[in-house]
Amino acid sequence: MQMKTISYTSTRSPSLLRKTVAVIMTIALAVVALMFSAVILTVLLIMLVIGGSIFWWKTRELRKQMKQHRQNFPPPRGATHQSDIFADAEIKGQVIEGEAVRVDEPVIRVQAESTQRNTHY
């Protein structure tokens, strides 16, 4: 008894016309995808500009109040924005800002016990 199998794979290689159509369709699909991504990025950029403009417009009154408050209440006499500690120092290099906390821990002293041994036989 002979069994015949049905195969969906072709034993012939694709023709030149089929290869050309496949390349053209691949290029067309890539161009369409690029166009859609450009449109999406443009829409996102426009939304960002509109959102930023609305935020700027809504906070304009607050910025005016902050500016007026700064003018009405000048800094106290003798106040400087710079520290007097490093007034004479010339600082070079890279400054890395940070915060240090010093924790004073109690000193625990252990008194040495007698080193004599009791020997009982």
* Polymer length of the chain: 121
Using a cut of 0.85, tell me whether the model's pTM lies above it.
Answer: no
pLDDT of residue 57: 95
CA distance 59 to 53: 10
- Identify the pLDDT of residue 120: 56
Give the number of other Cβ atoms within 10 Å of residue 35's Cβ. Answer: 10
Distance CA 32, CA 26 (A): 10
> 32 — phi, psi (to 5°)?
-65, -40
Q: Residue 104 burial by CB count (10 A; 0-12/13-18/19+): exposed, middle or buried?
A: exposed
Percent of the chain whose predicted confidence (pLDDT) is above 90: 42
Q: What average pLDDT does the structure give for the chain?
A: 81
pLDDT at residue 119, rounded to an integer: 55
**Domain definitions of the chain by residue range:** 16-72
- For residue range 23-79, list pLDDT tens digits in order: 999 999 999 999 999 999 999 999 999 999 999 999 999 999 998 888 888 767 766
Higher pLDDT, 21 or 76: 21
pLDDT at position 44 = 98
Instruction: Evaluate if residue 86 carries a pLDDT over 80.
Output: no
Phi, psi (deg, nearest 5) at residue 97: -80, 145
Q: Which residues contact 14 (CB under 8 A, 6 or more apart)?
A: 22
